[in-house]
Amino acid sequence: GFGRFAHQDAWIQQILLRHERYLVALPKAHPLANTTDQRLIDLANNRLILYHQTHLPVSTTAATTLSTKSGETDSEPLSVSEPVTEPLLHLFARYGITPLMTTEVSDLQVALGLVAASEGITLVPASLRTVRTEQISYQRLIHENITSPVYLHTLKDFIHPKIPNLLDAIYAVYEQRGITYRRQKFGSKL
């Protein structure tokens, strides 16, 4: 299966296929809708629509790092007591930014519906830039490291014999479309 989150499971192994850049999705009538190269700090005063059902894993290292960053200056909005695990909030927190308002919804399609209805903004992987373009403006973020990983998962003890063919097909599409990636393969069983 394909997924966007790394996780630890005794039965599953995963490889990172690539990183996909996030875009900001804004209502067409938004004052920033025609501004290319958006910055997260300029988006912080908008309602951010959150749609992830899976949160980032909490590690003691991440919690310590976030706590240390919070303690450096009074202006840092990161919580001292707990790390930010909601994926979109985590992206903002990496830059020391906390959005003014957030709304949580059940999935990405609902989030895009709310953006189209001018109820807020959200961040989406670049592959969604053709969805609802009549109502939504997708603009690039200047932050190159604001990305969504794409993983391929398979069972640890049984790798289907066609997985190498699937990987070859995926990488061929990446080559054809000029997508940056690092070729990987599953354990020695391939």
Is 126 in a helix, a strand, or coil?
Answer: helix
Domain spanning 23-147, CATH architecture: 3-Layer(aba) Sandwich (3.40)
Q: Say which DSSP state 100 is in.
A: S
Buried b (16+ CB within 10 A) or exposed e, 115-126: bbeeebbbbbbe
C-alpha 176/C-alpha 170 separation (Å) is 10
Q: Which amino acid is at 92?
A: F
pTM higher than 0.75? yes
Would you say 18 and 150 are in contact if contact means Cβ atoms under 8 Å apart?
yes
Q: CA–CA distance from 104 to each of 52, 93, 162 (Å)?
A: 8, 17, 39
**Residue for token pair 């932050």:** 143
pLDDT < 70 positions in the chain: 58-82, 188-190
Would you say 141 and 21 are in contact if contact means Cβ atoms under 8 Å apart?
yes
Q: How far apart are the two ends of the chain, measured CA to CA in Å?
A: 17
User: How many Å separate Cα 146 from the centre of its chain?
Assistant: 7
Q: What is the pLDDT of residue 187?
A: 74
* C-alpha radius of gyration, the chain, whole number: 18
Q: What is the pLDDT of residue 59?
A: 52
C-alpha 32/C-alpha 81 separation (Å) is 34
Q: What is the pLDDT of residue 64?
A: 36
The pair of structure tokens assigned to 31 is 């004052």
C-alpha 92/C-alpha 98 separation (Å) is 6
Would you say 6 and 55 are in contact if contact means Cβ atoms under 8 Å apart?
no
Q: What is the pLDDT of residue 57?
A: 73
Nearest C-alpha neighbor of 189 from the set 153, 152, 164: 164
Q: What is the pLDDT of residue 178?
A: 93
Q: What is the pLDDT of residue 130?
A: 95
Strands 136-140 and 47-50, sheet pairing? unpaired
